[in-house]
Each structure stands twice: as structure tokens, then as C-alpha cells.
Amino acid sequence: VCPTGAIMPKSEISYVWKVLSDPKKKVVVAIAPAVRASIGEVFGFAGGNGTETAGKIVTALRSMGFAKVFDVSFAADMTIVEEADEFLNRLKKNKDMPLFTSCCPAWVKFVEQYYPDFISNLSSCRSPQAMYGSVAKKIMPEMLKISKEDLTVVSIMPCTAKKFEARRPELSKNGVADIDYVLTTQELARMIEEAGLLFGELEPSAFDMPLGFKTGGGVIFGNSGGVTEAVLRDIVSNNSGGAGKTEQFVFVRGEDGLREVKVNFGGRELNIAVVYGLKNARKILKDIKVDRSRYDFVEVMACPGGCIGGAGQPVYKDLSVRKTRTKVLYESDKTMELRRPQDNPYVQKVYKDYFNKPGSCAAHEYLHTGHKNRKRFNETFEIYKPDQKGNIK
């Protein structure tokens, strides 16, 4: 991933326009949480910077011809429900601890390529983008009354690494990828301009159901610490019979790239690390190599501040922009009626209709994935080479 967005992979805009103009095809799309916090910066309308623009994005996408507009935050809620279940199982068996989050494809590839000894620590849960693709390909043909071949699934992400993730063979069925095309926030802005839409003047509209409904837990995913906070909302409140306020976990928030927190969980102290930036990730892996019991749960996002600082987002020079985006997502969370992922009624219905319960065989088939050792022979990156005692510099 290019951290400044200067090197961009091949754009899929022309493919998306082509499929949108094909009358036989139904194209569904979903936007990631961080996109709504930043795209307003591009269009320069009054209040565009620091405005939550999900409603305007929905209107823009419908005007372009997308059949359904969904929210990746719905799949983020599902990711938390699965990941919380996986974490509690591992904690009980004291197996493959600490659990590493796996929703950032740049971090996942970093572990696969440079630290394959830690692959079993990665959560097997798919990222929200990958869960959205898998669920959409499974349920939308029936809902839209079309054949599987006539469905195209698009996602709009803050991220160039998500384009790589969508091409992973593990995230396809019978050779057909779950996500057909990935566009970045910058590419969406370009499409809005190409369509001649005046973004600042668009009236907001609502997401389509069922994959457009989310809780606050799914929205804060875009911020560093958001995954951890959402997992705590799930496991701690479940463990205390639903008691407790969601605000009690705000201590995981912060601007430092490496934060450590402790949480009381049923009389046991959970040690958690929240990390952004691969330099910090390298540092924490070095510590864990020395003492595997140091942490129970480790969240890593590759980009500064998490996905709000992704390489597919509008380029910014002033660091205050990142803070503003972070605030947009936390403010959005506050306005949600439901803030714990497990309370999402549409997530509950999708489980009831298709996946039974978290961790079930069906859930593993559609909502989990595998990771592989990508370490290259003749590795030339000195910095990652272990010394004679096996320590990594």
C-alpha cells in the first residue's frame, strides 16, 4: 500500500460504468464507514469537510444506476459477532493467543509475508468487505429474482489494499470472486464528477435493506480502536447480562499509534493492544515473540488513524483532517439507536435464515477464510531478518 496514495493501482471505474450500462445486470454496491467521513472534502461545498455524507453518497450511487446501495458497516457488525465468538473460544481453550484482528488486508499480508509464525494468531474471520461480498452473492440473486451470473457486487473502500484482498482466491466460489470491483473514495469522487452530479446539492436518502442497516459498532470500524471497542461492546455487555453503557469503552480511543489497555472481563484482566502503522506492528510483534502471554487481543490497522487515513481517501496535508474524520464517525455512532453489533436485527435475521449461529459450519463456509505463508525465499529486506537468536530487528 502506498501510504500517501501517490501510487495507485489500476482503476476499475471503466468496468463499473460498463456493467452499469448493461440492462441485463443488477449492480449492488456498499460503502465502507470511512468513506462517508471524507468524500465531502473533495467537493468543497459549505460544511463538506467534517460532514457525515452517507445519505448524499446513497443518492449519488442510485442516480448512477446501482440497483441497491448497502453499507459495509452491516458486514462490520457481522464481523464483530463472529470475531467475538472466535475470541471467547480461543480464550477458553487458551489456543492461538493473542488473537490478531484480520480486517485490514495490508496487515494480514504483512503477517503472511514477514511473520508467518504468527499466522495462526490471525482471526479467521473475513474482513467486512469480504463478508459483504460473500453474503451479497449468497442472498441477493434470490431477493432480486435474477441469476447469479447477472449480479455484480461492487464495494467502495478507503483503501487500495482492498483491491488486492478482493482478488484473493480464498475469497471466491467456483472461480467467481465474491467482490467483482473495488473502488476507492477518490475513484467514487471521480465517478460523481463524471456523472455530472453536484454532490453538495444532493438530497440525502436511506440505504437499502437488509444489508444497509448497522449499529454504531459497525460505523466506528473506520477509526483505529473501533474494532476493539465494538468487540468489547459485544463480549463485556453479553457477559454482564446486557448491562453497561457503550460509552464505558471509550478509553480504547486515542491518537497514539500503539496503545495498551486493560479490561476486566468476568474477574479476568484482558490485556489489549491497539496499533496503527506497520512500524508499530513490527514493534509489538517483537514484544509478543518474547512473551506470547503479554496480550489477549491485538488490533492492527496499517494506515495512520485506521481506515479514515487510508491510501484511497482524499489526500490531505494537514493532520487535523484526520482528527476531523475520526470525529465524524464517533459523532455518527452517538446518533445510532443501536450501538452493539449483536443487537442488529438484520444481522440476527441473516443468521437465522442462512448461518444458524456464530461459529457454525455455514458461518465458517461463508464468513471465515484462511491465511497462507507468503514468505519469499532469498528475502532481501534486511530489516525483517531475524538475528542469530531468532529475534527480529
Helix (H, G, I), strand (E, B) or coil at 112: helix
Closer residue to ligand SF4 in complex, CB, 166/347: 166
Task: Out of 123, 134, 224, 332, pick the active-site residue.
Answer: 123
* Min CB(354)–ligand SF4 separation in Å: 25
- Tell me if residue 240 is catalytic: no
Binding site for ligand SF4 (CB under 6 A): 1, 104-106, 158-159, 161-162, 301-303, 306-307, 310
Residue closest to 344 by CA, chosen among 103, 84, 121 = 84
Active site residue 165: yes
Catalytic residue among 12, 52, 82, 83: 83
Whether 123 is catalytic is: yes
CB of 276 to ligand SF4, least distance (A): 7
Q: Which of these is catalytic: 104, 125, 303, 307?
A: 307
275 to each of 96, 140, 256, 283, how far by Cα in Å?
Answer: 19, 36, 8, 10
User: Parallel, antiparallel, or unpaired: how do β-strands 181-184 and 99-100 relate?
Assistant: unpaired
C-alpha atoms less than 13 angstroms from C-alpha of 266 in its C-beta half-sphere: 11
Give the CB-nearest residue to ligand SF4.
310
Nearer to ligand SF4, 69 or 166 (CB): 166
CA distance 25 to 21: 8
Cα angle for residues 278, 119, 286 (degrees, 5° grid):
45
Please pick, among 165, 187, 229, 299, the residue that the annotation labels catalytic: 165
Least distance (Å) between residue 302 CB and ligand SF4: 4
CA distance 307 to 224: 7
Catalytic site includes residue 237: no
Q: Shortest Cβ distance from residue 92 to ligand SF4 (Å)?
A: 29
Q: Count CA atoms within 13 Å of residue 209 on its CB side.
A: 7
The 10 Å Cβ neighbour count of residue 98 is 22
In the bound state with ligand SF4, the residue whose beta carbon lies nearer, of 218 and 306, is 306
* Residue 83 appears among annotated catalytic residues: yes
Q: Which is nearer to ligand SF4, 84 or 159 (CB)?
A: 159
Which of 41, 52, 82, 86 is an active site residue?
Answer: 86
Q: For residue 273, what are the CA distances in angstroms to 125, 222, 277, 289, 384?
A: 19, 17, 13, 15, 21
Q: Is 258 helix (H, G, I), strand (E, B) or coil?
A: strand
User: Which residue lies nearer to ligand SF4 by CB, 33 or 212?
Assistant: 33
307 is catalytic: yes
CB of 65 to ligand SF4, least distance (A): 27
Q: Which amino acids are annotated catalytic? A: 83, 86, 103, 123, 162, 165, 170, 307
